[in-house]
Amino acid sequence: MSLSDKQLILALKAVADPARLKILRLLKQKGQCSIGKGVGMCACDVQDHVTLSQPTISHHMAILRKAGLVQAEKHGLWMWYRRNEKSLKELAQAMSAEI
C-alpha cells in the first residue's frame, strides 16, 4: 500500500526534526524500557535519554503518533511508545518511489 501525498508530507515533517529523529532511533533499541517491555520505551525512559522536558517529549510523541510512525499504549501511570515498523517501511518505500 502506498502513502498518499498528505501522509508522506506528514511523515517527512515528523522525521525532519532532530529531536523526533533521535526519539525514533531510541525506540529502535531493545531492552531500554523501565516497565519491562522488550521493545519501545515509556515517556520517562525517553526523557532520560534526551535533554527535553516531559511536556516537550509529549509534544514530539504526539506528532510522531499523528504521522503514524509511533504507537502508544497506556500502562498504569505510564505511556509506552514503540515504533510502527510497518509505517516506517512504507515511508521508506514511498521515498524511494516518489523522490
Q: Read off φ and ψ for residue 35, nearest 5 degrees.
A: -100, 15
Q: Is the pLDDT of residue 1 over 60?
A: no
Q: Is 53 helix (H, G, I), strand (E, B) or coil?
A: coil
User: What would the grid cell of residue 80 be?
Assistant: 509506552
Q: How many CB atoms lie within 10 A of CB 86?
A: 11
- What are the residue boundaries of the structural domains of the chain, listed by start? 5-91
Q: Is the pLDDT of residue 33 over 80?
A: no
Q: Which amino acid is at 92?
A: A
Tens digits of residue pLDDT in 60-98:
999 999 999 999 999 888 888 999 999 999 999 988 887
Helices (H), 1-99: 5-16, 18-28, 43-49, 54-66, 85-98
Q: What is the pLDDT of residue 80?
A: 86
pLDDT category, 41, cuts 50, 70, 90? confident
Q: What is the pLDDT of residue 22?
A: 95
Q: Is the pLDDT of residue 36 over 70?
A: no
Q: What is the pLDDT of residue 75?
A: 83
Domain 5-91 = CATH 3.40.640.10: no
